[in-house]
Structure 1
Amino acid sequence: MKRSMAILLLSAIILTSYTAAPKTTSAASSSAQKVVSGHINSGVNLRDKPSTSGNIISSLKKDSDVVVLERSNDYFYKVQTSQGQIGYVSSAEKYISVSGSGTAPGGSGSGVGQAWTGLVIYGVNFRDQPSTSGKIVTLLKKGTSLTILEKTNSAFYKVKTENGKVGYVSSSDKYMTVSGGTQVPTPNPTPSESVNKQVELVIKAGMKYLGTPYEYGSDRNTTLTFDCSDFVRQAFKDALNLVLPADSRGQGTWVKNNSKAVYSTKDLKRGDLMFFMSYKGSSASAYAGVNKATERITHVGIYLGDGQILQTYSTKSGGVRTDKLDGAWVHRFLYGGSVVK
């Protein structure tokens, strides 16, 4: 009887220890995880989606801190504020600096932290550019081992040799076998590259509507005709799935609330929206003494750079077109600003 009781007691102790062990292990694993923190460098919007079309939840102030949960895409981090709010902020260095693990965790298998190696199986040229037009630095022989830094484009890897030289080789499996994971990391575009890419998409979307007839108060649900704000809205919707306000005054307010307004045409950048007051004449004297701060926005267009504007403003003018930014357009200009950032 005593022996049976002792066995039962021992079994209970073992069972208790076994069931408690996973909790201890889990706690240890949790405490070992690195926290990726973000410091807000400049006021930035916290959105409900990783896109500039996401609704603004709140505005994060300069010098506030957040926890970075993941890098959701090339342009946005998913973050948690000190108040517990979870949302998305621009990943541009202008707005946030990240620390804690060197990079934010990727949301879709970025390959961060993995060592990628390549073994040359057939002699391949080592070039100074990721293109067949790049200068050949040397020929890498069969059996050469390389560290793969990234897949720069569809045809080339950026690699480092054992003696530390960095260059580019063909990514064709005819020349090299790759080990270290299932996906070689691709380079993240810099903030300026990301913005430039978005701007070009918007302009390309707008240019496809050249010649589309003008109609004041056009139907926002069709692309058969446009007025000025309908055209601008459609270009951003087509290119970025970003839906701006339906009228030019609303778009002007949107730019002021979400970007930085500029009041000189010299400060405009390609892709910026431009807002204008009513036409009062073609000469500068017609606008003398006008207080632009109190003038209402009556027209909007997209700045193309090099003194050109993409816009639509009357039936007689022929609909969507490009114009030189001169004469009355300069005199009527109120302010402009970026939509993408």
Structure 2
Amino acid sequence: MKKQLLTLVLVPALIFGAVTIPLPKEASAASTGRIINSVSLRQSANENSTRIRYLKEGEKVTILSKVNSWWYKVKASDGREGYISTSAKYIQASGVTSPGDSNTNGGSGSGSSGSTSANVQKIIAAGKKYLGTPYEYGSSRDNTRTFDCSDFVRQAFLDGIGKKLPSDSRGQGSYVKSLGHAKTNWRDLKPGDLMFFMSYKGTSQSNYSGINKSTQTITHVAIYLGNGQILSTYSKDSGGVRIDSIENRHWEYRFLFGGSAL
């Protein structure tokens, strides 16, 4: 009887001793980044958001997530969390996974593949098909019956290559800057680049002299066609979507910066 009891005790012990219990997998290492040039750490993913502090060249950060194509959420070396530009001009990143939906603001849809020059032609062609479409401030992003300036630019990119830009001109400007493509001389721009302008202060160049343009707010966006011409919409009286020359006109005096959104 004692022998039988001993057997009953030992057998389960031997069985369970042979079972390998899987351990939880170790969490994957966090993405890391190294600051290449000093960049603002901001409270939210917006260029106008409050700056927490500057991240210095050489500083290492932990990349918590890639919010979209132009913002990372990071943890700085002092433990503070915030948002910084994804531009390779500011940060060298490793092991970063993009958000699942690549067609959110600033992302590019499946139609954005192909050479840059081919995409530029598609964007410009898509924009030109709306020539004469009436202007409406704050136009609906759900239809193409009317446009304001940023809605028109957004629709040209969406129709042309399936790329969904931010819905307002300031967001579009921030996106271009985040890519490191911004230029302050319009003559350095290429066809298809976006151009950003400050408020209208008259037709005379003297009305814009002495203005610190780096502090000015974007009030208009246009698509550069080359040869000193822009494609945009800016008022009901102007006739809606149209092509204008910029040299020696208020457009040239109001120009803040421009660059590629591709």
Smaller-chain TM-score bracket: 0.5 to 0.7
Other structure's SS at 1:322 match: strand
- Tell me by how many angstroms 1:260 deviates: 1.4
Name the structure 2 match of 1:328: 250
Name the structure 1 match of 2:152: 231
Q: Deviations over 1:59-89 (max 9, x none)?
A: 4858x999xxxxxxxxxxxxxx5x4x4559x
- Tell me by how many angstroms 1:241 deviates: 1.4
Quick check: 1:296 aligned with 2:252?
A: no
Give the direction of change, closer, same or farther, for the CA distance of 1:288–1:86 in structure 2 (3 Å limit): closer
Count residues with an aligned counterpart.
Answer: 172
Quick check: 1:266 aligned with 2:187?
A: yes
Whole-Å separation in 2 of the counterparts to 1:65 and 1:280: 41
Q: Which amino acid aligns with 1:330?
A: E
- Stretches of structure 1 that go unaligned for 5 or more consecutive residues are 1-41, 49-53, 67-80, 89-190
RMSD of aligned C-alpha atoms? 3.0
Name the structure 2 match of 1:167: none
Whole-Å separation in 2 of the counterparts to 1:211 and 1:263: 29
- Tell me by how many angstroms 1:259 deviates: 3.5
Name the structure 2 match of 1:106: none
TM-score (norm. length: structure 2): 0.59
Other structure's SS at 2:115 match: helix
Give the direction of change, closer, same or farther, for the CA distance of 1:65–1:221 in structure 2 (3 Å limit): closer
Give the direction of change, closer, same or farther, for the CA distance of 1:205–1:292 in structure 2 (3 Å limit): same
Name the structure 2 match of 1:12: none
Give the direction of change, closer, same or farther, for the CA distance of 1:208–1:335 in structure 2 (3 Å limit): same
- Tell me by how many angstroms 1:281 deviates: 1.2
Q: Which amino acid aligns with 1:311?
A: S
The structure showing larger relative contact order (alpha-carbon pairs under 8 Å, at least 6 residues apart) is: 2
- Tell me which of 111, 120, 126 is aligned to 1:199: 120
- Tell me which of 132, 147, 152 is aligned to 1:211: 132
Give the direction of change, closer, same or farther, for the CA distance of 1:248–1:61 in structure 2 (3 Å limit): closer
Name the structure 2 match of 1:247: 168
Q: Which amino acid aligns with 2:251?
A: W
Give the direction of change, closer, same or farther, for the CA distance of 1:297–1:61 in structure 2 (3 Å limit): closer
Quick check: 1:310 aligned with 2:221?
A: no
Matches of residues 47-126 of structure 1 in structure 2 within 5 Å? 55=69, 59=86, 81=94, 83=95, 85-86=96-97
Whole-Å separation in 2 of the counterparts to 1:271 and 1:255: 12
Name the structure 2 match of 1:112: none
Other structure's SS at 1:204 match: helix
Matches of residues 10-21 of structure 1 in structure 2 within 5 Å? none
TM-score (norm. length: structure 1): 0.46
- Equivalent residues of 2:87, 2:179 under 8 A apart: no
Whole-Å separation in 2 of the counterparts to 1:57 and 1:337: 18
Give the direction of change, closer, same or farther, for the CA distance of 1:65–1:294 in structure 2 (3 Å limit): closer
Q: Deviations over 1:265-286 (max 9, x none)?
A: 1111100000000111111111
Q: Which amino acid aligns with 2:230?
A: I
Q: Deviations over 1:98-128 (max 9, x none)?
A: xxxxxxxxxxxxxxxxxxxxxxxxxxxxxxx
- Tell me by how many angstroms 1:240 deviates: 1.6
- Equivalent residues of 1:210, 1:319 under 8 A apart: yes
Whole-Å separation in 1 of the counterparts to 2:116 and 2:224: 15
Q: Which amino acid aligns with 1:321?
A: R
Whole-Å separation in 2 of the counterparts to 1:296 and 1:56: 20
Matches of residues 180-199 of structure 1 in structure 2 within 5 Å? 194-199=115-120
- Stretches of structure 2 that go unaligned for 5 or more consecutive residues are 1-35, 38-64, 73-85, 100-112
Whole-Å separation in 2 of the counterparts to 1:57 and 1:295: 23
Give the direction of change, closer, same or farther, for the CA distance of 1:61–1:292 in structure 2 (3 Å limit): closer
Whole-Å separation in 2 of the counterparts to 1:290 and 1:57: 30
Give the direction of change, closer, same or farther, for the CA distance of 1:212–1:285 in structure 2 (3 Å limit): same
Whole-Å separation in 1 of the counterparts to 2:179 and 2:237: 34
